Amino acid sequence: MSIPTPQPSSPPQNPLTSQLRLFQRLAAVLAAALLVGVGTFFYIRHLGQPVTIFVSGKAVATVANRASANALIAAAEQAKVGAAYASDDPKRMQSIILLPAAANAPQQTDVAVKSKLVALLTLHLKAFVILVNGHPSLALPTPDAATETLRLVKDHWSKQPPAYDFEGEPQIVEEIAIEKRSVDTGLTRQNAASAAPYFWTPPPIKSYKVQPGDIGSRIAHRNHISLADLITANPNVNINRLKQGNMLNVRKMPRLLTVRVRKTMTTEEPVHPGAPAAQAGRQRVTYVVTYLNGQETHREAKEVTLLEKPLTRMDL
């Protein structure tokens, strides 16, 4: 009678190992689901669903997706800032939000959307502001650019005719200072060449016809300017004595600069301008003539040389 050979028994399975394997499988399934979910969310959020751009609560345009919207906003901000301020971080003064839009919502071209954003966005930058009598005018990226702007303005008015010799250096009449401040990008310029013409080119006049009962403050408020700006824009009008039918300029005027230039001129003229030519005599006079922004405002005799003595009644 043969005795059966005993078979080795398998070791009992640890319950913790089984649970660990189950958790691993569940974790793998959850990770796969999470990746699919994140991928779907990213696609819908950035590459899939159209979004509408709102600036300060106002709908601007609908674009293909969030990625396009963010790219267009960045491009519009860079366009307003300009290359000279590319290294500066502009401060956005409005709220911008992106909200999902319907899949069939009409969309505009990138060029049109960017143009709208450039017109609507308000950004502030740190720049070097030219202060005119304490009031900010234009701003430049560097203090040297601001100084060069002032030099170009003086040079512009110095070259106005007549081409006489200069008496001293051209001077800006207003009190000028240059300070680094936060300003709207609408006041910034990229360089001195683009900034200088602002100070000698007044904007076109915007006319307003005075109506019955109009007063200066009411006219200013109606046209979105201050009373001081209205007075500045109409230097030859008494704002306190307006009459029906008077024409006013209601455009806010930029803070222009006034350049004083003194030149010497020499001329021959009669000693007595009212006398007959044979009796008036002749003299050579050197004048110092003062010009404000190219317009003569004053002249004074610097040197007088008698060329021909005037005749008197005793001489006749």
Average pLDDT over residues 114-125: 94
pLDDT of residue 197: 95
Tens-digit pLDDT profile for residues 218-272 = 999 999 899 988 998 898 899 999 999 999 999 888 878 999 999 999 999 999 9
Q: What pLDDT is recorded for position 45?
A: 46
- The residue-averaged pLDDT of 30-54 equals 66
Assess whether pLDDT exceeds 80 at residue 34: no
Is the per-residue pLDDT at 26 higher than 90? no
pLDDT at 101 over 50: yes
Supply the pLDDT for residue 43. Answer: 47
Does position 11 have pLDDT exceeding 90, yes or no?
Answer: no
pTM greater than 0.85: no
Residue 7 pLDDT > 60: no
Bigger pLDDT: 44 or 91? 91
b/e 237-273 (16+ beta carbons within 10 angstroms → b): bebeebeeebebbbbbbbbbbebbbbbeeeeeebbee
Average pLDDT, whole number, for the chain? Answer: 88
Looking at per-residue pLDDT, the higher value among 269 and 10 belongs to 269
More confident residue, 9 or 155: 155
289: confidence class by pLDDT, cuts 50, 70, 90: very high
Q: Which of 302, 305, 269 is nearest to 286 (CA)?
A: 302
pLDDT of residue 89: 83
> What pLDDT, in 10s, does the model give residues 61-71?
999 999 999 99
Per-residue pLDDT of 164-206, as tens digits, reads 999 999 999 999 999 999 999 999 999 999 999 999 988 888 9
| Residue 24 clears pLDDT 70, i.e. is over it | yes
In angstroms, the Cα distances linking 255 to 132, 133, 146, 156, 239 are 7, 9, 15, 17, 20
Residue 87: what pLDDT? Answer: 80
Position 60 scores a pLDDT of: 94
Residue-range domains of the chain with CATH: 51-121 (no CATH), 128-158+184-249 (3.10.350.10)
